Chain A
């Protein structure tokens, strides 16, 4: 059969086997079941319908991903830019609208989710000893997304131990510490507490309201406060010093966990331009300032009994919760995966990432080392960087990558076809290196001192770290 010309480009990425088609059909049944619960008249048994949806999703995904096992182990991003789902085609936009729509309903009109919520009552009763609500439903969906897409990661990157361990880690922290444990705490009449989230990502954990509710309540409250304080002020800087921000962002964090698993098919959609990098730095640090000011204001208000700031601090916290907590982290952060990539929130909005980034840049042993002159400038590393770092820009000049935003997912090193990149926690001394290709291309060796100096080219924006040539020359780029 002669293919139609315009169809041909999409063919390579979307050739499904019989098993995969069965899987897709089952996922379709799952979607249908959820849709019926969303818009139906409630005449179907919610638990049964939810069960059908879950089986459809789990078995369907299993069949869909099983075929990945038939491919040789090793990086395979074939057809990523040909498939509408992963290249901002029709399927991508539909997914974006569905995800975004779900968040809008969840936040603003949760009563529309009534049937879905009732469908999870049985599980909620078993885990938490109480009826379900929209947040339990959301937590369940979120956890399942990480587990199912995590399984896909484990298959896709099965010859890379770093990716395997990292994926198992985010699956464990989501399931154990962000889903089961908070539920069990509720069952035991303790506060619903998330051990894997800290201020300022979980911004209210250091707010006076949490403080008072934890100290006044019985049971674990004091321990939980202690945990928050230790993780925020001790563990975070210490772990980041030794391992970089990856210990959290791509190994523990729930937002990161979703991005690394459900977001993996969209990681290449992040904007790599220097312009986007500028926006990122302004935006993420503004959010950090916002959350710090809000937290301080709340405490001042609490200490002065509202005398100093009146209702202002509450207004601040309400605004932060609405614009940052709901709209940015939720609607945009996840809803826009298929359009802007998987780390929009982490890159442009997360204040925790901002703090970890500052620590990583100035007080950490972590860096991505480049391997001499082996880079062929192909661009795989930059393309598959979910944080939009132009990794190649550094690699092709033999320069270590020390960037605040790097979450240490290791994908640049995984997709590199020449073994040029390696995540390392070495001595801080040799961490910032200048461009060293000069050595490997062996020209400078013969040059007298005056000619060993060259000035950096524009754009200087990528050079947010001290470059030896800059310092040597004292020339600021024109």
Chain B
């Protein structure tokens, strides 16, 4: 029996769910978004600003894809859910009745109550509207300040740099992302940031933004005053729970769900950035806000929406990023501060870095970090899953290479040599 499945949010979680519901069923599907008409890759926002791509190029599917696959797209802002009569209210629009509802509302930028954070010229960066605002806010400016040393922060610094706008980058930590990266990885990225001419201020926090009519300077906790015409606030994101809270759906940090992405209300589900697992051990953490987890959530919940209740299981952890020109990949377990039972072997060659972690007692491989190198996910995952002895891994590392042809293999040879 065809049901009407309504999805709020056309990001990767919502759209992956819609695609898989369509692959698995003939249910009627409606996707509601207030952000854009069509699904685009949020990961590519920076490239639009930098001129590598236009919005059009960031859309993973051609516009006719949605009508061809009978997925209805509604442009509108969902304000509230009447969970009794199972209706979604759309601001200035027609109510939509659902049989099953998926909330995939994503995240919002964190604001920490800084003085002046509401001034014109001050903003976060999460969605297309933010990008449009940034375009307007950075016209003809002489300096931008980016606050918050995370992924979006460094992206924003790179964006401004690409437009020849001088950047001051405030990072609270002593070294870039040292809560996630071991010392060497973090130092390598510090160097990369500085090499691009960014004014990197480590161990520095924002105290206030100075107006009066729009941002004209900031003051740091160290008492420095930096003149600027733009302030990017990129101190992380938090789940967007507005509609859940307005509709009696339980939320903590995020919208609370179990391993089936079920909320406390029957037939209402939540997945992606906006969801928070109600127990440990379901995902790698309670709130997962990666592109990859959004995609995995969306796919898993699609099975449940189609009547095959399927629990979420995160496989061997992986993630990747690019810091200016340095690519980063990670597989398995590579903590910033390894405990005493972890042996961490580091191999370096110029701007490339390879870290292999293993269990000190058993010698089994636990995880990999790379900077400036590319490894094959299948191979790394197979080694980690099968608890391969690290000596064996180091010897056969060439099997896991995914670098372009003819790239230097010195770092791999060095790793192989240590295992002899």
Contact = CB atoms under 8 A, between A and B. Distances in A.
Interface of A: 1-3, 5, 8, 11-13, 15, 72-75, 77-83, 159-162, 165, 268, 273-274, 369, 371-374, 376-380, 382-383, 392-393, 396, 410, 413-414, 417-419, 422-423, 437, 440-443, 445-447, 451, 454-459
A1 B142 CA distance: 10
B41 interface: yes
B52 A72 contact: no
A73 B402 contact: no
A292 B106 CA distance: 57
A379 to B, nearest CB: 5
A451 B291 CA distance: 24
Contact of B308 (A3, A13, A447): A447
Nearest to A75: B325
A162 B405 contact: yes
B377 A5 contact: no
A379 B57 contact: yes
A418 B296 contact: no
Given A379-B60, A422-B404, A443-B300, A77 B52 contact: yes
Interface stretch (B64-72, B82-90, B122-130, B233-241): B64-72
Given A3-B140, A377-B60, A379-B41, 6 more contacts: A12-B51, A273-B62, A371-B377, A413-B404, A423-B404, A457-B65
A376 B43 contact: yes
Given A8-B140, A443-B310, A417 B327 contact: yes
A193 to B, nearest CB: 31
Nearest to A82: B51
A459 B64 contact: yes
4 smallest CB-CB distances across A and B, nearest first, come from A74-B325, A372-B377, A419-B374, A161-B406
B50 A78 contact: yes
B51 A371 contact: no
Contacts of B313: 442-443, 445-446
A369 B403 CA distance: 11
B295 A441 contact: yes
A282 to B, nearest CB: 19
A309 B224 CA distance: 89
B374 A422 contact: yes
Nearest to A445: B313
Nearest to A422: B402
Contacts of A383: 52-53, 57
6 contacts: A78-B52, A159-B325, A378-B53, A441-B299, A456-B23, A459-B64
A380 B60 contact: no
B20 to A, nearest CB: 7
Contact of A379 (B44, B64, B322, B377): B44
B324 interface: yes
A21 to B, nearest CB: 15
A423 B69 CA distance: 32
Contacts of B308: 447, 451
Nearest to B138: A8
A447 B310 contact: yes
A224 to B, nearest CB: 33
Choose among B22, B44, B53, B196 the residue with the greatest number of A CB atoms under 10 Å from its CB: B53
B248 interface: no
B23 to A, nearest CB: 4
B369 to A, nearest CB: 13
B22 to A, nearest CB: 6
Given A161-B404, A371-B402, A379 B58 contact: yes
B163 A373 contact: no
A376 B19 CA distance: 16
A79 B50 contact: yes
Contacts of B44: 376-380
A5 B140 CA distance: 9
Contact of B162 (A79, A393, A396, A414): A79
A380 B53 contact: yes
Contacts of A454: 20, 23-24
A372 B318 contact: yes
B115 interface: no
A83 B58 CA distance: 19
B329 A5 contact: no
B195 interface: yes
A437 B12 CA distance: 14
Given A8-B139, A79-B162, A162 B404 contact: yes
Contacts of B47: 378-380
Contacts of B324: 72, 74
Interface in B30-78: 41, 43-44, 47, 50-54, 57-60, 62, 64-65, 68-69
Contacts of A274: 62
B406 to A, nearest CB: 4
B376 interface: yes
Contacts of B57: 268, 379, 382-383
A442 B329 contact: no
B181 interface: no
B377 A80 contact: no
B295 to A, nearest CB: 6
Nearest to B315: A442
Nearest to B192: A72
* Max chain B Cβ within 10 angstroms of own Cβ: one of A81, A165, A393, A447: A81
A418 B327 contact: yes
B320 A419 contact: yes
A201 B190 CA distance: 51
A13 B322 contact: no
Given A79-B162, A80-B51, A378 B41 contact: yes
A243 B203 CA distance: 51
Contact of B43 (A162, A378, A459): A378
Contact of B196 (A72, A393, A417): A72
A161 B52 contact: no
